[in-house]
Chain A
Amino acid sequence: MKKILRLGLPFFAALLLLAACKQKADFEYYYYEPEDYALLSQYLNLPSKPDNYLTKLPKHLEAQGLFARAVDQDKAILGRVLFYDKNLSKDGKVNCASCHRQEIAFSDDKPVSRGVFDRVGTRNSIALGSVLNFAAYYGTDLFGPSGIPFFWDNRAGTASQQNLATMANPLEMDMGHNDIVNAVRTQPYYAPLFRMAYGDETVTVQRVSESIANFINAIGSFRSKFDREAERTIGNDTWSNRERLDFAGFTAAENRGKRIYLDNCASCHSPVQGRPMKMYANNGLDATTTDQGVGGITKNPFEMGMFKVPLLRNIALTAPYMHDGRFATLEEVIDHYSTGIKAHPNLSMELRSGNQPRRFNFTAQQKSDLIAFLHTLTDEELLKDKRFSNPFK
């Protein structure tokens, strides 16, 4: 037996020593061909290993039936470059990000955006970061008639239609289909990106818009303080109004503001900031309107003066507010709902008291609490997420 021990113990000791050498794995990942990556690196800061553009929404949102659409990673990478490429505008000075700046949740800080040759647009830029996930929120292509269309007047059914309409708009990028294709073809960095996304270098306007759609479909805001607390409190619960419970991580003011929001705002803007309860509405900005919004597209008299009801994610960052950017601060917005709603014929039912515009008459304390709550909807991670940043050098 002693002999056995003499033989065996050193072996086991050596084995344990080997096992104790905790060496980390070192995997090599390759994506681009070396010559392609060298070419891309002249113009772009793209990681050698592709970014992950798949989105997994937190469970308090999935419990409401909200799921992110699968995004094609290769197309999203191409879409990111297209999104930030100023060559896709008539004067070479405007890109999508000009009116959708990442640092302010992909919104614009001007009342109405300015396009090529400093042309003044007609409406405020909608914040891409106002929704939990672009694809989980918008899109008549998947949601059918109940899908939420794009633009303030809901005139585009899909992200691709919206992209092309924006690029073609003379007040925005002023690029016809041929202009877009030519602009992309002439840039050397697109050949490898198109090969990765589509298997060949053929540039079509459909491919361009599809790639941008994949990129913006990956953008999502769901990592705010509100989401962290909602996930903890609501969890997988769907029906029991658990969002009404105070959130442990909120301050007293934030919780008071949440209650005010749920009692007065959530019936249009959604309790958990998932999908709004109304696709469009008139919120009494004016008694008579010149910009008819949805009604201007549908010509339906009962839809005149109605505009998209946005979600309020990152609302603290996306001033100025409303479709025309008339309110510079959240205080002004709340003052409007408190005492300023006008009697438009198509005024939303939620904003009426009988035949008169409703007066919420918020106290100063309530206004302050509501603003404190709205600040919890800010997703700081989205603002610095490198996957969505400008890749150009």
Chain B
Amino acid sequence: MSRAYKVVLAIGLAASLAACTSSRFYTPNTVNLPTMSQKGEGALSGATFFGSNSGWEAQASYSPAQHVGLMVNYFSLNYKGSIAGTSGGFFPFPPPPQTNFEGRMRFGEAGLGLYRHAGKNREYLLSLFGAAGQGHAHNLYIEPDVPLKEATWTFWRYSLQPGVRLQHRRLSFGASFRFSYVQYTTGRIDARIPRLELDRVEMLEAQSPMMFWEVLWTVGYHFRPITVSLNTTGVALGKKSLNDLNLASNHVSLMATLNLHELKKEKQSRGKRKKK
């Protein structure tokens, strides 16, 4: 790997990890940017992450027909942190008490899309996928000496994601803008959660359905048949009310992708070598 690539990768890794944030209202899963190039190809991907935002995600993609792709994604995120329960904290008033929270979000989706190659050497893979999925969030608010308070909600997400991937030798770069339509449907909220948090939940309910763009970029390195990629998917927002909800979360994942067609080829070539 040339020095320039290493520098780019190092900067990308540092920047994306520094930008890693989650939201207890909505955190985007990693955009599944397809790698297939023809009918019959497919891939399985997995990622795990640790720390205050821990969890895992799994993705699969398959091309049942030339230029047509299917995908299935699952995202499991655990998070924790603390929030100010009330406003205030300005001199001479004492700072507002902090409330700790812990939560988990689960999200699953399936999608269908189109892809085709472009470029002189077919080095670009253009794709357009649509997907629908459901998510569920469960949050616990923890304050000393009082019972835990819970808030749960369910949402549907409908998305459309145009994407482009560039393969250059062993390196691949990809980008996608995912247009997401997130519709919160049901929720059950203990109204004794901190007042500011209750305000945010009410805002979430009032703002639903929400539409926004999510931005993905990915850098991968290919060890045939596996590709290791660093991905970051962030919510890009415009409306102030959405910013107040702190939805501008950025999910970073280090993902391993097993290219099934390459694995199959590898097995076939091993078989041939054995026969020889």
Contact = CB atoms under 8 A, between A and B. Distances in A.
Interface of A: 1, 3-4, 7-8, 11-12, 15, 18-19, 22-31, 49-50, 52-54, 56, 67-71, 73-74, 135, 142-144, 196, 199
19 contacts: A4-B114, A8-B113, A15-B130, A22-B209, A25-B208, A26-B185, A27-B153, A27-B184, A27-B202, A28-B186, A31-B190, A54-B87, A54-B195, A68-B87, A68-B88, A70-B86, A70-B89, A74-B192, A142-B92
A173 to B, nearest CB: 29
Contact of B188 (A12, A24, A30): A30
B152 to A, nearest CB: 10
Contacts of A56: 87
Given A4-B114, A19-B158, A54-B87, A27 B192 contact: no
Contact of B146 (A30, A31, A135, A199): A199
B90 interface: yes
Interface of B: 65-68, 86-90, 92-93, 96, 112-114, 130, 132, 145-146, 153, 158, 160, 181, 183-192, 195-196, 198-199, 201-202, 204-205, 208-209
Contacts of B208: 24-25
Given A4-B67, A27-B188, A74-B192, 15 more contacts: A3-B65, A8-B113, A11-B112, A12-B160, A15-B160, A25-B187, A25-B204, A27-B153, A27-B202, A49-B191, A52-B199, A67-B90, A70-B86, A70-B96, A143-B92
A69 B67 contact: no
Nearest to B113: A8
Contact of B183 (A15, A25, A196): A25
A19 B112 CA distance: 16
Contacts of B195: 52-54, 73
A196 to B, nearest CB: 7
A50 B146 CA distance: 18
Contact of B93 (A7, A11, A69): A69
Chain B CB count within 10 A is highest, among A1, A12, A19, for: A19
A157 to B, nearest CB: 14
Contacts of B160: 12, 15
Given A15-B132, A54-B87, A29 B68 contact: no
A50 B197 CA distance: 13
B93 A70 contact: yes
Nearest to B97: A70
A56 to B, nearest CB: 6
A69 B209 CA distance: 34
What 8 A-B pairs have minimum CB-CB distances, sorted nearest first? A27-B187, A70-B88, A70-B86, A25-B184, A31-B191, A67-B90, A25-B208, A19-B181
Nearest to B194: A73
Nearest to A3: B65
Nearest to A71: B86
A9 B198 CA distance: 41
A364 to B, nearest CB: 44
A54 B86 contact: yes
A15 B160 CA distance: 9
A37 to B, nearest CB: 12
A67 B93 contact: yes
A69 to B, nearest CB: 5
B183 A30 contact: no
Contacts of B93: 67, 69-70, 135, 142
Given A3-B65, A8-B114, A15-B158, A30 B209 contact: no
A329 to B, nearest CB: 38
Q: Report which residue of B65, B66, B158, B202 has the largest number of chain A beta carbons within 10 angstroms of its beta carbon.
A: B158
Contacts of B92: 142-144
A28 B189 contact: yes
B43 to A, nearest CB: 20
B89 to A, nearest CB: 8
B68 to A, nearest CB: 6
B205 A27 contact: yes
A52 B153 CA distance: 21
A70 to B, nearest CB: 4
Nearest to B154: A25
B178 to A, nearest CB: 13
A70 B67 CA distance: 59
Contacts of B190: 29-31
Contacts of B184: 25, 27
B192 A23 contact: no
A29 B191 CA distance: 6
Nearest to A56: B87
B88 A7 contact: no
A52 B93 CA distance: 19
A217 B82 CA distance: 26
Given A7-B68, A30-B188, A67 B88 contact: yes
B90 A7 contact: no
A53 B196 CA distance: 11
A77 to B, nearest CB: 11
Contacts of A143: 92
A196 B132 CA distance: 41
A24 to B, nearest CB: 7
Contact of A25 (B88, B113, B185): B185
